[in-house]
Structure 1
Amino acid sequence: MSESEIPVGAPCWIDLMTSDLEKSKAFYTALFGWSYETGDQEKYGGYVTASKDGKMVAGLMHNEPGSGYPDVWTTYLRTNDINKTVELATTNGGQVHLPPMDVPEQGRMGMLGDPSGAAVGLWEFGGHTGFQLQAAIGAPAWFELHTKNYPAALKFYQDVFGWQTSVMSDSEEFRYSTLGTGEEARAGLMDSAAFLPEGAPSNWQIYFDVENVDETIAKALELGAQVIQEVEDSPFGRLAALTDPTGAAFKLIED
């Protein structure tokens, strides 16, 4: 995807914090056909960029022992002014988990907590302008916030990131809005107060596009993954949720 195709406020990048970098790399290569390039240790701390068919799709970094954080996938939203976004976030009920920092020659990053407790990354473009491939086999396809405080989260992303949202459903059983409408939608926001287990925080979830969900699950299980949401057919495709061999959760979708 080119820079012009990723609007400000939309998901523009994902990365995985993993306690076993080599195991994770092998897993996602087997599952999605990814290849990798490792950045300079001094400049980028050995940050690994994953590509599919030569196009960048994700990053991986080492989760240091004792960090206190579980292995996790993070979604980053694009900002044109990271300092202003952080300022808006703090005045609209958000928290700053990681203040803006320069990534040499690539851009600027930060990490927020929204009012419902979900962590979300920030990325201001420099040399790195986000995904080069999206909504294709082996690439991220959809991004979805599962929130325990739907009204507060919705208002936060509208006010801080300028989201123009569209209501897909507003019933007690299923409350869901999207960033954008129809084919132009970029992300979803779901009222998950009734679904998230007790103690589980609000969180961003990432779907990866695959040719065959059932075959991909079988392969993933052989490689040490676990299924946390059984495969199901939905109006948007065949879906399932897994954790990878080190415990990071992700989803699969077959259109």
Structure 2
Amino acid sequence: MSDFPEGTPCWVDVTLPDPREGKRFYGELFGWTFAEGAAEHGGFYSQAFSCGEPVGAVVPQLPWQEEPPAWTLYFATPDIKATADRVLDHGGSLLMEPLEIGQFGSMLLARDPGDVPFAVWQGGQQQGFRRRGEPGTFRWAEIVTRDPDAADAFFPAVFPFEAKRLPEPRGGDHMLWHVAGSPVAGRLRMPPDTPDEVPPHIAVHFAVTDCDRAVATVRRLGGRLLDGPSDGPHGRTASVADPLGAAFVVAGPRAAAARPPGRGTRRRAAGMPGSAR
């Protein structure tokens, strides 16, 4: 039996053209250590560990892959073939058919009808990450799409999601998806002025103790700030990119909680994902 209810995020990995640079960056930013994959499976999959527990992985971008560097979110399933059938039945597409990874488990890669890429994992020996919600580990994920109606119809048909719309005083469009009464992911509509070059995507959030300090570390290590930091429903967050271009979100306590009393915070105008600052 899986450690993760069906539809729950259970794993993340990042595909990069230079995995060594990725391990340098994420190792210092999050304190991760790495182990190379087994030789019989190509030895290319570098698992990341926090406090000795698996929390994600770095994957090399193959020469024929045209997609830019990016983080991939995996949703858990007890039956990957049945999930693949539902993806196709509800208008999605398979980028990779279900593939068995030895005794570790099985995976597939897919897109929803609005072109949001995601992955699915049926655990075997490897069920998924063993730590989450702690500094340096996966905390949350938001499906960011230009076609929210397609996402709202597709994902709850593929996974056992209960959808709940959040009130947005500024006229935004934000949905929360729950499994067994607990929120597992969100869905956001891209603002209309989002640059065309920003593709639909899943924004993977990692927990940090201090968002502003994490942003400073990202910049020091050669990454970029894309948006924020700002306070919101997930605490204080900032969209950033690693030195190779893979975007993600760092999320910490709200500014007042993360700093000693009397220390001011800087305000930044919100920028769109994909814009360097």
Aligned to 1:36: 34
Matches within 5 A, 1:233-252: 233-252=231-250
Q: How many residues were matched structurally? A: 253
Is 1:176 matched with 2:171? no
Match of 2:270 in 1: none
1:254 counterpart residue number = 252
The amino acid of 1:93's aligned partner reads G
Aligned partner of residue 247 in structure 1, secondary structure:
coil
**Corresponding position: 1:84 with 2:82:** yes
Amino acid at match of 1:31: L
* Alignment gaps of 5+ in structure 1: none
Cα displacement (A) at 1:44 = 4.4
The residue aligned with 2:212 is: 214
Trace 1:198-209 onto structure 2 (pairs within 5 A): 198-209=196-207
C-alpha separation between the residues in 2 aligned to 1:129 and 1:196?
Answer: 36
Counterpart pick for 1:120 among 114, 118, 121 = 118
Select the residue among 50, 53, 68 that pairs with 1:52: 50
Choose the corresponding residue for 1:61, options 59, 66, 79.
Answer: 59
Counterpart in the other structure of 1:25: 23
2:152 is aligned to 154
Contact 1:90–1:96 (Cα < 8 Å) also in 2:
yes
Q: Partner of 1:224 in structure 2? A: 222
1:208-228 alpha-carbon deviations (Å, 9 max, x no partner):
100111111111111100111
CA deviation string 1:135-181 (max 9, x = no partner): 11110110110011111111101111121122213678211111228
Provide the C-alpha distance between the structure 1 equivalents of 2:230 and 2:3, rounded to a whole number of angstroms: 31
In structure 2, distance between residues paired with 1:4 and 1:123: 10
More moved, 4-13 vs 25-34: 4-13
Q: Is the 8 A contact 1:117 1:202 kept in 2?
A: yes
SS of structure 2 residue aligned to 1:117: coil
Change (3 A) 1:153 1:171: farther
Maintained 8 Å contact 1:78/1:122: yes
CA RMSD between the two structures: 1.9
Note the C-alpha offset of 1:193. Answer: 4.8
Contact preservation (8 Å) 2:2, 2:123: no
- Match of residue 166 from structure 1: 164
Question: Which aligned pairs between 1:139-150 and structure 2 lie closer than 5 A?
Answer: 139-150=137-148
Rounded Cα–Cα distance in structure 1 between residues aligned with 2:169 and 2:150 = 17
Structure 1 stretches of 4+ moved >6 Å: none
> What is the distance in 2 between the residues matched to 1:28 and 1:105?
27
Specify the code of the residue in structure 2 equivalent to 1:174.
G
Tell me the distance in 2 between the aligned counterparts of 1:195 and 1:137.
33
Instruction: Sort the Cα spacing of 1:44 and 1:126 in 2 relative to 1 into closer, same or farther, 3 A.
Output: farther
SS at match of 2:167: strand
Question: What SS does the aligned partner of 1:185 have?
Answer: strand
- 2:222 and 2:168 map into 1 onto residues whose CA distance is 38
Instruction: Give the C-alpha shift of residue 194 in structure 1.
Output: 2.2
The answer as to whether partners of 1:169 and 1:177 remain within 8 angstroms in 2 is no
What is the CA-CA distance between 1:20 and the residue it aligns to? Answer: 0.8
Equivalent position of 1:187 in the other structure: 185
**Is the 8 Å Cα contact of residues 138 and 209 (structure 1) preserved in structure 2?**
yes
Indicate the residue corresponding to 1:12 in structure 2: 10
Deviates more, 1:211-220 or 1:245-254: 211-220
Cα offset for 1:97?
Answer: 0.4
- Cα distance, 1:236 vs. partner? 2.6
1:56, distance to aligned residue in structure 2 (A): 0.9
Q: Give structure 2 stretches of 5+ with no counterpart.
A: 254-277
**CA distances 1:59-118 after superposition (whole Å, capped 9, x unpaired):** 111112342121110001111111111111111010010001010010000101101101
Residue 39 of structure 1 contacts residue 45 of structure 1 at CA under 8 Å; is this kept in 2? yes
Looking at structure 2, the residues matched to 220 and 251 of structure 1 have their Cα atoms a distance apart, in angstroms, of: 11
Name the SS of the counterpart of 2:222 in structure 1: coil
Find the structure with the greater CA-based Rg: 2
